[in-house]
Amino acid sequence: MSLLPLDDPEFRRDPYPVFAELRARRSLAWDEDLGMWLAFDHRTSNLVLRDRDLGRIWRDREPAVDFGQFNLIHRNALLEMEPPDHTRLRRLVSVAFTRRRTEQLRPRIAELAGALVADMRAAGSADLMPDFAQELPVRVIAELLGIPLADRALLRPWSNAIVKMYEPAASIEQQQGAERAAAEFVSYLREIVAHRRTSPGDDLVSALVRVRDSDGDRLTEDELVTTCILLLNAGHEASVNVIGNGTLALLRHPEQWKALAADPALVPVAVEELIRYDSPLQLFERTATDRVRLPTGVVEKGQKVAALLGSANRDPSVFDAADTLDVRRADNPHLGFGAGTHFCLGAPLARVELQEAFAALLTLPLTLAAPPVHRDEFVIHGLTSVPLSVAA
């Protein structure tokens, strides 16, 4: 029996009471059903993310003949690599995907968020998820990559299908859907890359096509395609779910909403708290490349260990009043963007995106119009529907 009641819809909706109970008894425990160690507290999870003998070791999904494109995009992904391959690829991508490029996007992101909010205000009602939370990050990443407007509706369904493979018990239908989406996404991006080689523009794909390091090394086509897919899947999925989870949390804590609306300068601090309070990614898995001794257990070579990020981010030994939403929380070492070698490359973009998203939403007088609907998943934690009324 698994330590985590993954079949319980209430746990998938709100895992934090179970996390608190398990974390109070142990910081690290073996889960027989999942076949891995689970780290519950902040200290152990942080060590799991940072220890160089705990690697992100990709093993092709079997049977490999059925998952050729899904395996291809993971085999060449930064997220699934360790040094020296990870070092080389991250260096190349970082040359093109700079903080300066990200910050230059802020005015455009604010413009996009403002337009979506204006539509919500004019309609007098909205569903936060399709009308804003899902729409804004897709528009941002599509513009960053230079995806034609007519094709942008393809991106989120592809991403949604692929990330379902990360759940502990993905169904046959979900696995097949992930492979189809991966194949279509890879094929589409190969066409985009081929076009940018002959007709470059002022977009990230063109920059990645051009980039070379000091040794003359450059991205392979598979690495380039995979990097674009990772930016969408990992980047926009996180932003979508922080916007959804965070807005719902603020609506359920109206005093926090009022504090933010009264002092928009708090928004950057509040964004970090919203990431901590209801984490969009609940589990990040590693594999021991050597025997690793953690504070309360030993992970043998070849064994898997997962940092439970949502549990770590509610650890009362690190966060005062850890189960309380506090938009003024300044001391906030959350693990929402990971840590160590695999700290999220897209964190600067996500922060700009989230800051502008909440700055725009806070201008609206919003109330819940109906109960929200949660995603029926554990690893990717979020919502599918948040019906809202927008007062005149």
- Given the structure tokens 């490349």, which residue do they identify? 289
Q: Which tokens is 287 given?
A: 């594999």
- Rounded to 10 deg, the angle between the 237-252 and 267-277 helix axes is 100
β-pair type (297-299, 373-374): unpaired
What is the sign of the dihedral through the CA atoms of 102, 105, 107 and 112?
A: negative
Both tokens of 180, joined, read: 């189809």
Q: Is 173 a catalytic residue?
A: no
Catalytic residue among 237, 273, 356, 377: 237
Do 260 and 327 form a contact (C-beta atoms < 8 A)? yes
Given 178, 312, 339, 344, the catalytic residue? 344
* 390 has a pLDDT exceeding 80: yes
Please tell me which residue in 82, 272, 353, 377 is annotated as part of the active site: 353
How far, in Å, CA of 271 to CA of 148, rounded? Answer: 30
> Could you read off the pLDDT of 313-356 as tens digits, one per residue?
999 999 999 999 999 999 999 999 999 888 888 888 999 999 99
Alpha helices in 171-253 (DSSP H): 172-198, 204-210, 221-230, 237-252
Tell me, yes or no, if 344 is annotated catalytic.
yes
Amino acid in the structure at residue 266: L
How far apart CA 157 and CA 384 sit, in angstroms, is 13
Instruction: Go through the domains of the chain in sequence order and give each one's CATH number.
Output: 9-390 (1.10.630.10)
Q: Is the pLDDT of residue 371 over 90?
A: yes
CA 8 – CA 229 distance, rounded (Å)? 31
Tell me what the mean pLDDT of segment 53-79 comes to.
86
Q: How far apart are CA 348 and CA 359, in angstroms?
A: 17
Rg for the chain (alpha carbons), in Å?
Answer: 21
Q: What is the pLDDT of residue 215?
A: 63
To the query of whether residue 239 is one of the catalytic residues in this protein, the response is yes
Residue 81's pLDDT band (cuts 50, 70, 90): confident
Whether the predicted pLDDT of 213 surpasses 60: no
Cα separation, 37 vs 298, in Å, equals 9
* Range 271-290 average pLDDT: 95
Exactly one of 170, 207, 234, 350 is catalytic; name it. 234
**Taking 70 as the threshold, does the pLDDT of residue 118 lie above it?**
yes
The chain-wide mean pLDDT, for the chain, equals 91
> Residues in the chain, how many?
392
Alpha helices in 303-346 (DSSP H): 309-312
Cα 9 to Cα 152: distance, rounded to the nearest angstrom? 32
Q: Are 146 and 209 in contact (CB under 8 A)?
A: no
State both tokens at 307.
């940092």
pLDDT digits (tens, 9 = 90+) for 186-209: 999 999 999 999 999 888 899 888
